[in-house]
Structures are given as C-alpha cells and as structure tokens.
Chain A
C-alpha cells in the first residue's frame, strides 16, 4: 500500500515536472501582445463563464484527486475523459466516462479499498446567460447529470445519480490581464447501496477566484471555496462544512493545447458530532485538479 502511494505521488511529481517544463517554451513563445482569452479554465476548481467556440471540439482528461482523511492513508481520484463541443454561440455540451481510483487504508469508517475502475459517466449542458461586452459580468449556467457506479468517497459499489448545478461567472477587472471569477454550486445526489436502500445527500457552496495573466500564455491565480454538506437534497440535515484555499495555474501550450493545475487545502471546517477544526468525513483534507486539453 505504501509503495502504491509512493507511486501515485511520483506520478504527481512527474505531472508537476512536465507542467513546469511546458511553461518554459510557452513563455518563450509568448508574444508581447495580450489577446482575448477563454476564461473557463483559468480559475482552478472555479469555472469561468466560457463555453468554447462554435465549431470547436475538445478532448481532455480532467482529474480531481482527493487526499487525506482524519487518519490512515487516503488517495482517491475521479478522472473525467471529457469530449466537449459547442454547437452554437450559446450552448456547450460535455460528456464522457469517469475513471475512478481508490487507495484507502486504515481510515475510520471506511473499508480498505485498492482499485482502479470504470466509475460512471456524465453529460453537462452549459448555457451562456450574459456575455461581454454587453455586460461586464459574463454568466453561464451549467447542469451536469452524473451517474456513478462507485461511491466517490468510499469506493464501494453503489448506484449514484447526481445533478451538479452551477452558476459560473467572471469579471474582467483589467482587460485581458486580471480576472475575477465566482461560482455557486448545488449538487443533489441519490444513491442505492448494496442492500437496496436509497439515501439522499446534497452539497451546496460557492467560490471566489482571482487570476492574473503574467504572460500571454500563462495565468496564475488563487481561489477560496466554501462547501456545506447535507443528508437530504432539501438542505435540511446539515452534516458539515469546509473552507478550501489554494493556487492554480493555466498554461496555453500552443494554439490547440493547454494544461491547468490547481491545489486546494481545507483550512477550516466543522463536522456535526465530531471535534476538530475540519470536516474530514464529507470532504478531503486536500484536493488537486489536473487537466490537459487538446482542441480540434
């Protein structure tokens, strides 16, 4: 188990090294002029309002890695193999399978799991409600039905259906250079476990992010997220909350490829019925987002 964890961390270090290496030519190739930029992926876990360009298609592995619970060893990931397309200037679709990995050992209330599996699928509809220059604020509503065959937290086999609903908004504070983004999130979920019992839960929250374009092809930023978890879809049985903070980077590798990375750490939180300053039952201690996109 320890060896496997080391391998995962080594893979993450390799990804980081590749990312750093990719920045160098991107900076070298950077022109002195800052042209318009798509804002969707420049804020880390926070998503900007962008919906892509009509006629554009994109493929990207998009991974969210969760690390750390109250005790033991906990590393899980959900990788969406995303196919995105924009059929017109208002709507974007994303869809694809989800690959899950769970490496859990000696974590209280969770069984030991060590597997990589097909985790489910998703489809996302994004609709641009407001856009620049008609409004300084650009706003997109995103609806994402998801199906999971493994529980994202525990890795146990279940049938889970969720509806991630987001408002993605951003503001261009300094044209083409400094951007402020914020998200509102509501995600109701219903799950059937191995005993055929249906249970409900929901997550609600919001984020704020600031990103600065230091070079034409490189954007650095930081974000803060506040998330609340409930045992109903109607937000009536509160179980815990968490505040995440962390940096992010976006690098345009060439005119058809980009990479993004973000790291969030839980800096504050509470869990109903548990002492301590974090909620480590509903949320992980840290989370990492890695995405490599190829447009065609």
Chain B
C-alpha cells in the first residue's frame, strides 16, 4: 500500500471520528417531552412551543384511522405513525426559531413548532 493511500485512509478515519463526537455529546443532554395529536388530518394544536437548546422528545398521537408520516425539513426528521397509535420523535437541541412540520401522506396537514 502506498504512503499516499495510507494518508488518505487516515484522514478519512479521523474525520469520521471527529464528526461523531459532537453528535454523541448532543444526545447526552436531558430531553423535554412535548405531546401533539392528529385528528381528522389536523394537528392539535397546530402550533406547539418548546424550549431552545434542549433536546426534545415529541410524542405524536395519531387518532385517525389511517397512517400518517410526520415530516419536517428544518427539524430533519420523518416518522411514520400507524393508525390509532403513537410515535416518538427525538429532536436535537434546537436554536430559537419557527420549524414547519407536516403529514407527508396528507401534505395539506401542517403545523408550526416555535422554539423560544
């Protein structure tokens, strides 16, 4: 194996390790739990609020007779929740701001998560 190839492999391994470190640190914080439900293809409440810089556990209760997919580009999550059941989404510590979310199976079903 050439020296250049060994160098390339070492840089790749080191970078991958450095990338994983802050992820593990963020996951170690104590989370806050927030609940939301979906009924008749509407989120209840449509606007939810949560604290900034703290990991959040979002419990999504689907009271409809069909499955839904909780999805958000800015929250960077998607989760299928079966009919008449509950899904759990773990969110990283978020910066203050407004985060859109929606049901990917019924795209008109939308809500806002306000982080303060």
Contacts and interface: CB of A to CB of B under 8 A. Distances in A.
A143 interface: yes
Contact of A55 (B15, B22, B79, B96): B79
B12 interface: yes
B92 A89 contact: yes
For this complex, into which size category does the number of interface residues on chain A fall? 35 or more
B70 to A, nearest CB: 10
Interface in B77-116: 77-79, 91-92, 95-98, 100, 102, 104, 107, 110
A255 B107 contact: yes
B83 to A, nearest CB: 19
A127 interface: yes
Contacts of A55: 77-79
A232 to B, nearest CB: 9
B95 A54 contact: no
A133 B96 contact: yes
B76 A89 contact: yes
Contact of A54 (B2, B22, B78, B104): B78
A98 B22 CA distance: 32
Nearest to B6: A190
B4 to A, nearest CB: 4
Contacts of B2: 190, 192, 198
Contacts of B77: 53-55, 89
Nearest to B11: A163
B102 to A, nearest CB: 7
Interface string A12-52: 00000000000000000001000111100000000000011
Interface in B45-100: 71-79, 91-92, 95-98, 100
B4 A125 contact: no
B23 A90 contact: yes
A221 interface: no
A67 to B, nearest CB: 29
A36 B26 contact: no
Contacts of B102: 35
B28 interface: no
Contact of B8 (A51, A132, A133, A162): A162
A132 B19 CA distance: 19
B12 A143 contact: yes
A217 to B, nearest CB: 11
Contact of A143 (B4, B15, B20, B73): B15
Given A89-B91, A91-B19, A56 B78 contact: yes
Contacts of B9: 145
Contact of A233 (B4, B71, B75, B92): B4
B23 A91 contact: yes
B100 A36 contact: yes
A35 B100 contact: yes
A55 B5 CA distance: 33
Interface of A: 31, 35-38, 51-56, 86, 88-91, 125, 127, 132-134, 141, 143, 145, 161-163, 165, 188, 190, 192, 198, 200, 233, 255
13 contacts: A31-B107, A35-B110, A36-B73, A36-B100, A37-B73, A89-B76, A90-B19, A90-B22, A125-B16, A133-B97, A134-B95, A143-B12, A188-B8
Given A90-B19, A198-B4, 11 more contacts: A35-B100, A37-B73, A55-B77, A88-B23, A88-B27, A89-B76, A91-B23, A132-B74, A165-B15, A188-B4, A188-B7
Interface of B: 2, 4-5, 7-9, 11-12, 15-16, 19-20, 22-23, 26-27, 71-79, 91-92, 95-98, 100, 102, 104, 107, 110
Q: Shortest 4 CB-CB distances between A and B: which pairs? A: A133-B97, A134-B95, A127-B19, A190-B4
